[in-house]
Amino acid sequence: MPLRQREKIQEVLRRTTGKLIPLGIILFWMVMMGLLLRREGMLPFVESATHVMSPRVTRPGNAWMGIFLGNSESAGARIGFVNTNTTPDSRDGHIGAAFNVTAKLRLTLMMTPTDIFVAGSAWIPEDGTRAEFDFKIRSSEHTMRIAATVENGQLNGTVYTAGETIPFQFPVGKELLLSGAMGTATLNLPSLKVDQEVTIDTFDPMTFSVGKARVKCVGRETLEVAGERVECKVLTTTVNGLTSKVWLGEDEEIFRAETPFGFSLRKITPEEALTPVDNSQNANVLQSMAIIPRGRTPVRGAKRMTVRFSGIQPERRPPVDETQTGTGDVYTITAASEPGPDQPAPVSADEYLKSDAFVQADHPKIKDLATRIMGDEKSPWQKAVRVYNWVHDNVRKLSVFSIPSALEVLESRVGDCNEHTVLFAALARAASVPTRIAIGLVWSDTLRGFYYHAWPEVFAGRWIWMDPTLGQVIADATHIKLLNGNIEKWPQLLPYLGQLEIEVTSIE
């Protein structure tokens, strides 16, 4: 598989999981659909043990799990459900199982209720031969789909997103399996006793990465389910420093699951699942994810801010550049000054001028618009300002759930920080202005906290932060960058969620 094609596929699939926290979607899509459905019938799962446990489904099953905000026994508002149907099935002489998964939830984003629908199917043979899966996610008019087969250690499939159809192939190893359906079949894990643990390899087709997961049985608990007391084993699964928790009955049926990000699943009846979500009880996801700082209160428009970070490992400390400097856990953000006419020419860096699957800087529509925006302007900074003005004035500020690409945003003219940023980056790169994407936090007077955000950076003699979403030609000092780089870095936000703490020590 050519490197460039593989990189393109990686960017497409990472973008699917990388929807930023301002929409709250990464919590659901990455954790609920990624971790849980990966284990429970939708996505491939690799076990590194010397033996492989194929899924054994001997009877039809139909499991309903409610999705709730909060991880306590008395978790808060129900925001949706996941329904999994399991059927013993034979195809071409191979015994296996068919799975169908449907999930629906409503999240309040920026005080606007947003409906999200996920549907998928899979067929898994017991003998490890050709497996199939096909799933899609839809919100409003936006839909993404991945369909693939797994055979002889090779994943072959197609991504349908942002108006593109992209075929791909990827080696996954001959022990790749799809596990049993949620709540109805044996998990593709050893049956652990208390204090036993196992380390397994996991493959996630949404991020196209293979990593280690540590699964441990941490004890036994009694849950009350539908008025009955059920004895359960409690297992934890830790991937990339993030731990989820699941309660299993005697036949490995899932009765409850918790994520590290404040979402939980609990077994409920179909009648409960299909009862409309009470919007009055549906907490604002964005507000629930805000980081409330200690110390001084930031002010939008600040020129300088000093903060102290805690709750994260030293290797997770944010990057530094001309705007954001730091020593140890103390960082200072200083809003950039506008570059003068005698600034040196932009850095020559193909990485910050190239197109990718979502920043289509070389597409004729993008190049034509960039040319019209630029006119006869030659200054890199003034080119960036012209792009800023066009994006800020022509893209309506609205929280949407989509898989945004520059072309899609150019057509819809609607979006949040993700849409503003990818379109800005495409137009600026098309105008030969080196541009990269910053991912981090910004202060909100409304939320009285920092919330996750994305904005573009341009190189005009030095890197300068801009923010067309918030209407800041030069981003103010209440921005905190957590990651450098393009879309492929976005999943690296996960270790910050629910862990990062901020103290504001000074604000000017």
- Domain boundary residue, one of 248, 274, 300: 274
Does the residue 279 lie in any domain?
A: no
- Domain boundary residue, one of 212, 246, 274: 274
Residue whose pair of structure tokens reads 């919330």 in the numeric block = 451
Are 144 and 258 in a shared domain?
yes
Are 297 and 201 in a shared domain?
no
Asked whether 70 and 262 are in contact (CB, 8 A), the reply is yes
* CA atoms of 56 and 253, how far apart (whole Å): 13
Asked whether 180 and 57 are in contact (CB, 8 A), the reply is yes
Residue type, 188: N
Are 261 and 361 in a shared domain?
no
C-alpha 456: how far from chain center: 19
* Number of domains the chain is built from: 2
Does the residue 448 lie in any domain?
A: yes
What CATH number does residue 487 fall under?
3.10.620.30
What global pTM score does this model have?
0.69
Are 219 and 192 in a shared domain?
yes
Are 227 and 355 in a shared domain?
no
Are 366 and 440 in a shared domain?
yes
Residue type, 213: A
Are 95 and 174 in a shared domain?
yes
Residue type, 437: I
Are 366 and 399 in a shared domain?
yes
Are 270 and 296 in a shared domain?
no
Does the residue 280 lie in any domain?
A: no
Cα end-to-end distance, the chain, whole Å: 52
Are 367 and 255 in a shared domain?
no
Range of the domain at 499: 290-507
Are 211 and 335 in a shared domain?
no
Does the residue 285 lie in any domain?
A: no
Does the residue 220 lie in any domain?
A: yes
- Domain boundary residue, one of 274, 309, 326: 274
Does the residue 183 lie in any domain?
A: yes
Q: What is the pLDDT along the chain (508 residues), one digit of tens a residue?
A: 444 544 443 333 333 222 222 222 233 333 333 333 323 322 233 333 333 334 456 678 788 888 887 766 555 778 888 888 888 888 888 888 888 888 887 766 545 567 778 888 888 787 778 888 887 877 665 666 778 887 877 778 776 765 767 566 666 544 433 332 222 223 344 567 889 887 765 544 334 445 566 788 899 999 888 778 999 999 887 766 667 788 888 776 778 888 766 678 888 889 988 888 766 555 555 566 778 999 999 999 999 999 999 998 888 889 999 999 999 999 999 999 988 775 655 556 778 998 876 788 999 999 999 999 999 999 999 999 999 999 999 998 876 655 567 887 888 888 788 889 999 999 999 999 999 999 899 998 887 899 888 899 999 888 999 999 999 999 999 999 998 876 556 657 767 877 899 999 999 9
Does the residue 94 lie in any domain?
A: yes
Does the residue 284 lie in any domain?
A: no
